[in-house]
Amino acid sequence: MSNIFRDLLKKIGSGVHTGENLTRQEAEIAMQMMLQEEATPAQIGAFLIAHRIKRPTPDELAGILDAYDRIGPKLDVTNLPFEKPATVLGTPYDGRSRTVPVTPITVLILAAVGVPVIMHGGDCMPTKYGVPLIEIWQKLGVDFAALSLVQIQQFLEKTGLGFIYLPKHFPTANNLVPYRDQIGKRPPLATAELIWSPCVGRVHVIAGFVHPPTEERFQTTLPMRGINYYTTIKGLEGSCDLACSRTAIIGMGNPSDPHTLERLLLNPRDYDFNPKDVAFESTEQAIEQIKTVLQGNSCELMDAAVLNGGFYLWRCGVCEDLKAGFSQAKAMLMEGQVLEKLKELHEEFQPLRILAN
C-alpha cells in the first residue's frame, strides 16, 4: 500500500466539509501512481469513485493529462506534409449505442482535403459498452489496432490519419478500464480523455460533452495545458458529432487569445437539413449506413454526414463559411472523393500490416 497515495485519497474522499481539491502536481502524482500500479486496487477504485462524486477541477484535469503526457504515447505532428494543423478528436471511449456515428466520415472528409486527424480510444468499454471507433474502422478495412506506434506515425505522415489504440499503445491506461465496470460509473479519467492530445506539436482539439459544467472545465483546462485552438461540441451521446435534431451548442477557442471563447448556435433547420438523427439498431446497420454514404448514395445518414463534414471543413479553415462547407462536403461525397480517400488508406495500410505480422 502507498501511504503517499492514501494521503491524496483522503484529501478528495473526506466529504463536503473537510475534503479538499488536489493541486495540479498532486493530481499528476496520483495519476502516475495509478498508471504505474503503485497504488493498490482498493486505493485506485476508491480514488476513482471519490473523484467522480467530488467532480474534478481544471487543475486536477490538467494534472491527470500531465501524467498522460509523461507516461503515454505521442505522435509527432510538427513536420507533417499538410498545410493545416492536426486535429485531435475527443470521443467518449465507451462508444455509441443510441445514434449512428458519422465521425469516420467526417475524419475521411477532413483528411481528403489535407487536415490531419488524430483519434484515440480502446475496445468495447464500460459503462455504456457502445460500438467504439476502433471497431468501426476495422469494419471499414483499416485496423489501427494491428499497427505499432511507429507504424501509426508512418501512416499518419502518409495519409493524414492516426489512431492511438489503448490496449497496444498505452496499456498502462488500458489496465484501468476494468475499474469503470467495477465502480459502475465513468470516472474523471473519462473527462480527461476527451481533451487528451497524444501529440507533440500544435493541434486543434475537438471535444464532445453532454453537461455544461464539463464544457466549462474544458475551457479552463485546455489553456492551462497550452491549447488555445479548440472546439467544444454538445454532441450526440457526448461525441463530436453534431445532432440534426437540435441546435448545436458550440464553443470555439481563439488561438491568439486564451481568454476569449466564441459561442455558435447552429440550427440544422436553418440549412434545410432533415431534423432527425439516425437511431442505432446494430453495428451491422451502422456500418451499412456509413458505407452507403461513402459510396455517394442517398440514405437517412447523408444529412448528418454533410452537416458534420461541412461544419468541420469550415471550422478547420478549409471553407470560408458554413454554406460553402456544406456544399463542399456534399460534393466530395457524391463525387467519390471521400471514398477514394478510404481506398488510399487501404493501399497504405496493407504493407504496414504485413510488416506488423
Indicate whether 56 and 123 sit together in one domain.
no
Q: How many domains does the chain fold into?
A: 2
Question: Is residue 181 assigned to a domain?
Answer: yes
Alpha carbons 229 and 45: distance in angstroms, whole number: 34
Indicate whether 169 and 64 sit together in one domain.
no
Indicate whether 131 and 250 sit together in one domain.
yes
Long-range pairs for 166-169 at CB < 8 Å and ≥24 separation?
166/93, 166/120, 166/121, 166/122, 167/122, 167/123, 169/73
pLDDT at residue 38 above 90? yes
Q: Identify the domain containing residue 85 by its residue range.
A: 77-339
Alpha carbons 186 and 49: distance in angstroms, whole number: 9
Across the range 187-196, mean pLDDT stands at 97
Indicate whether 17 and 94 sit together in one domain.
no
Question: Is residue 53 assigned to a domain?
Answer: yes
For residue 52, the domain's CATH number is 1.20.970.10
pLDDT tens by residue, 214-273: 999 999 999 999 999 999 999 999 999 999 999 999 999 988 887 788 999 999 999 999
Question: Is residue 96 assigned to a domain?
Answer: yes
Indicate whether 63 and 90 sit together in one domain.
no
Domain boundary pick from 26, 47, 71: 71
Question: Is residue 302 assigned to a domain?
Answer: yes
Domain boundary pick from 71, 95, 111: 71
Indicate whether 48 and 94 sit together in one domain.
no
Indicate whether 210 and 287 sit together in one domain.
yes
pLDDT tens by residue, 263-299: 999 999 999 999 999 999 999 999 999 999 999 999 9
Indicate whether 91 and 57 sit together in one domain.
no
Indicate whether 157 and 268 sit together in one domain.
yes
pLDDT at residue 357 above 70? no
Hey, what's the cell of 150? 511507429
Hey, what's the cell of 268? 440544422
For residue 125, the domain's CATH number is 3.40.1030.10
Indicate whether 204 and 58 sit together in one domain.
no
**Secondary structure of 2-41 as H, E, C letters:** CHHHHHHHHHHCCHHHHCCCCCHHHHHHHHHHHHCCCCCH
pLDDT tens by residue, 123-144: 999 999 999 999 999 999 999 9
Indicate whether 114 and 170 sit together in one domain.
yes
Question: Is residue 354 assigned to a domain?
Answer: no
- Residue 215 has a CB neighbour count (10 Å cut-off) of 19
Across the range 150-165, mean pLDDT stands at 97
Question: Is residue 355 assigned to a domain?
Answer: no
Determine the pLDDT at residue 1: 67
